[in-house]
Amino acid sequence: MTLVAVLLAVAIGGTTPARLLLGVAVLAGQLSIGWLNDYLDAQRDRIAGRVDKPIVAGLVDRRTVGIAAVIAAIACVPLSLLVGLVAGVLHLVAVGSAWAYDVWLKSTRASVLPYLVSFGLLPVFVVLSVPGAAVAWWLPAAGALLGGGAHFANVLPDLAGDAATGVRGLPHRLGAIGSRWAATALLVAAAVVLVIGPTGHAVLRVALAALSVVTLAVGLAMGRRVGSRAAFNAVLVVALLDVGQLLLAGVRS
């Protein structure tokens, strides 16, 4: 997400120091979210055999990760506000939304909501970091759709392990088939928004949107295998393709 934010900042304009500050602010928020998730889910990850997680693998103890999450969250506050008051507050809302997912909403029917909010606000944060830049409607719309799709795709490989440890978010309630369809619908909708919203370089943007759909289809098909993360990897590729569309369009268009 930090890379996506910086690339969007490059597309908008502004100074190099401002982009670096924005990138550090986003990185601090992302680290706090990820570390909090690892801290809270340590026992669940052990039960699920997630040896790819540093705590489970014994690379770091749980307390250290928890402290690091708090430090990163505290650092995120001044870093975000230095970018700009309104922009910074919106970024902190996005980070707070993700924290709410880690702490509570992950196991509820509203598990997709923080993804919609946080991903939708990220491009708004980036745009408002540049004085005079206007937020086009399709930026938060595409971000929210992409985030919602990422949620369903990301959970697919872990449905069984999550169920065994008591996690019952919306994807778990819909099941594997329902989650695949939800991910597909949301991500295709994001690609469509990025075609009809911006102006300029229409042919290239349509080509990137078509490539996004093909990538997503292949990833979801491969993701049917137990334990496969192909679907989520496809989402990451689609996200980068969407950034490519934004770079072509330019947020001022």
Query: Quick one: 11 and 52 in the same domain?
Result: yes
**What pLDDT is attached to residue 228?**
75
Query: Quick one: 98 and 108 in the same domain?
Result: yes
Between CA 99 and CA 33 the distance in angstroms is: 6
DSSP string, 92-104: HHHHHHHHHHHHT
Query: Quick one: 104 and 158 in the same domain?
Result: no
What is the radius of gyration, based on Cα positions, of the chain?
18
CATH number of the domain encompassing residue 247: 1.20.120.1780
Domain final residue, candidates 134, 164, 190: 134
DSSP type of residue 131: T
pTM: 0.89
Task: Give the phi and the psi of residue 137 in degrees, each rounded to 5.
Answer: -60, -30
Query: Quick one: 85 and 154 in the same domain?
Result: no
**What pLDDT is attached to residue 49?**
83
CB half-sphere exposure, 27, CA atoms < 13 A = 8
Query: Quick one: 130 and 140 in the same domain?
Result: no
174 exposure class (CB count in 10 Å sphere: 0-12, 13-18, 19+): middle
Query: Quick one: 144 and 126 in the same domain?
Result: no
Domain final residue, candidates 134, 168, 201: 134
Between CA 217 and CA 187 the distance in angstroms is: 10
Q: What angle do CA 251, 196, 145 make, to 5 degrees?
A: 80
Query: Quick one: 2 and 109 in the same domain?
Result: yes
Q: Is 69 left (phi over 0), alpha (psi -120 to 50) or beta?
A: alpha
10-residue block means of pLDDT along the chain (253 residues)?
Answer: 85 87 98 97 87 91 97 98 97 98 95 97 93 87 91 83 84 89 87 84 84 86 76 76 70 50
**What pLDDT is attached to residue 68?**
98
Between CA 192 and CA 210 the distance in angstroms is: 9
Q: Is 206 left (phi over 0), alpha (psi -120 to 50) or beta?
A: alpha
Domain final residue, candidates 104, 134, 164: 134
Between CA 38 and CA 121 the distance in angstroms is: 24
Which range marks the domain in which residue 248 is found? 136-253
Residue pair 135/177 in contact by the 8 Å Cβ criterion: no
Query: Quick one: 100 and 186 in the same domain?
Result: no
Q: Which residue has the tokens 């819909």?
A: 174
